[in-house]
Amino acid sequence: MSEQLIASNGSAQAEKVAVVTGGSRGVGLTIVKTLTQMGYTVHTCARKASAVEVPALVRLTRLDVTDYHATEAWINQTLEETGRIDVLVNNAGVMSAVGNLVSVDPDEWEAVFRVNVFAVMRLCRRVIPVMAKQGGGCIINLAGGGSAYPRKNFTAYACSKAAVVRLSDSLAEELKDLGIRVNAIGPGLQESEIWRHAAQVGETLPSQPWDNPQDLADLIRFVVTTPTVTGKFLHIKDKYRQAALSEFSSDLWTLRRVNPS
């Protein structure tokens, strides 16, 4: 693990601290910028942590989240410097093992879960006691295409992201009495390294225009600042701002089996 200090506010004990994985570009950078605009000091990591433009109040560390020991050391160092973690955003992910199930490498298929699910689980597990001790916190896990519907040729990615959604709402139930909120979000069709990788392995890029990063920023702001929202799977195109507060206590915006009436 190597660290590159991009900027800091000079305070050893920041008032609001966020941790974001995969925050050096694309979806992750949008999230990092949004949180800094909200006044958070952001600690983020990326496998390629050089030659990137990140805003002030960001500490960027070169790190692979599947190196679990290095990831825990990163969180420990963050806590030594800040004393708290208010928001955790698990954004780092891969869309590899692209192709029909019979043709893809099974080891590569399994490796997707190490990034998209197991690293998320370990980060949640490390941060939850911290948030419980400080009286609450907010965890946001990135879902994606295939989380809520079939996606041929992307079975590893789709299954892993569906697992993230179920992990999120299950944790929300576990932690609701501790003041810790957990949600999954769908960022929409954002231009990202994940799609560039898919193109490199022969997948056709989407024909429709990319979604607006501002819609992702708006959803991040909503989830972080709305204390009644937990256990939800929200997409950037959902009409969540128009919803009554009572609707967030229902099964709307969740991944559920629908039975005939």
Closest CA to 182 of 174, 191, 171: 171
For position 2, what pLDDT does the model report? 47
In the chain, the domains with their CATH numbers are 2-249 (3.40.50.720)
pLDDT recorded at residue 49: 61
Query: Which residues are identified as catalytic?
Result: 157
Q: Walk along the chain (261 residues) in steps of 10 and give the mean pLDDT of each run.
A: 44 76 92 96 85 71 96 98 97 90 96 97 98 98 89 92 98 98 89 62 65 94 97 95 90 90 75
DSSP H helical ranges for 104-154: 106-113, 119-134
* Residue 254 backbone zone (phi > 0: left; psi -120 to 50: alpha; other: beta): beta
Q: pLDDT at position 9, please?
A: 37
pLDDT on residue 192: 66
Alpha helices, DSSP H, located in 8-154: 26-37, 68-82, 106-113, 119-134
Give the per-residue pLDDT at 82: 95
Q: What is this structure's pTM?
A: 0.89
Please report the pLDDT score of residue 258 as a whole number.
85
The per-residue pLDDT for 209 is 76
